[in-house]
Amino acid sequence: MPQLPGTDLTVSDLCLGGNVFGWTADEATSFALLDRFVDAVPSRLSPFVDTAEMYGNGVSEQILGRWMAERGLRDRMVVATKASPGEKEHPLSAPEIRAAAERSLRNLQVDTIDLYYAHYDDETTPLEETLTAFDELVRAGKVRYVGASNYSAKRLTEALETSQRLGVARYVALQPHYNLMEREAYEGELRDVVATYGLGAVPYFGLAKGFLTGKYRAGEQIDSPRAKGASHYVGDKGDRVLAALAEVAGAHGVTGAAVALRWLADQPTVTAPIASGRSVEQLADLLPMQDLVLTDDELRRLTDASA
């Protein structure tokens, strides 16, 4: 039962990525994806959905907001969104954070954002200003908890120490780029910081831009907006990882994508990986990760294949 450390947020094993809402999934499809996702999450857990103000320039948030309002499910959900840079000169300045939060609250049709991230670091703004602005949102009841995305180990440490010194709300979560094909950047100093300070990691690109679904292979042309990014992983390492995924998936009667997400969810410090699908069928391939139990030998096999 995943719980974001330092919070009362008990969330689903999978965090549904809202980046597709209004992009590769129109509103009707997005509603169907959300319906399917919520149906698959045990009632003891809160379905965890991630979006950002920059996804479709607010369209993703708006679709999620309309769905929650129509279904009357706001109280069951854990909703995460982000203050994104866009064209802002100082995206994490106090005025920009306040304005971004108000836009997201309107788009989502909610009074409170459960988890509000700094989407990218902003070294043009003092950490004291950024963290004080986030704290003001928490104190005002507009945000429950705050997190960071795409921060380096050094800057994350500085931010956490600054919060402690100022006595303001601190980051409880980190969104890193982390999956079976992208391990080096997280498994080291950054993971150590997350562990030392008791944060929860919520990795994005959990399926390596779709590569870990197994449909992107050398010589094959796939009609997908992610095809170019996924093709980056084609090669010997990719072949090893896909072969290991197929073997483990076959033993459990699930997809390789579900196995890849389960491996990620089982890694130290990870609370829930983020993944999305542009159709209900694609999402259905991922959902078995929630009940999947991998043996130590299977986890080791996947880890070794991706080394």
DSSP code of 110?
Answer: -
Rounded to 10 degrees, the C-alpha dihedral 149/17/259/76 comes to 100
Residues 6+ apart with CB under 8 A from 231: 211, 216
**Other CB atoms within 10 A of residue 35 CB:** 14
Is-contact 236 270, C-beta < 8 A? no
| CA atoms within a 13 Å half-sphere pointing along the CA-CB vector of 300 | 3
The active-site residue, picked from 55, 116, 171, 204, is 55
Residues 14/19/25/29 CA torsion (nearest 10 deg): 40
Q: Are 271 and 237 in contact (CB under 8 A)?
A: no
- Give, as one character, the DSSP assignment of residue 270: B
Q: Crossing angle, helix 59-71 and helix 94-108, to 10 degrees? A: 40
- Cα distance between residue 164 and residue 195, in whole Å: 16
Q: Is 55 a catalytic residue?
A: yes
What tokens were used for 11?
A: 């969330």
Task: Indicate the DSSP class of residue 224.
Answer: S
Catalytic residues: 55
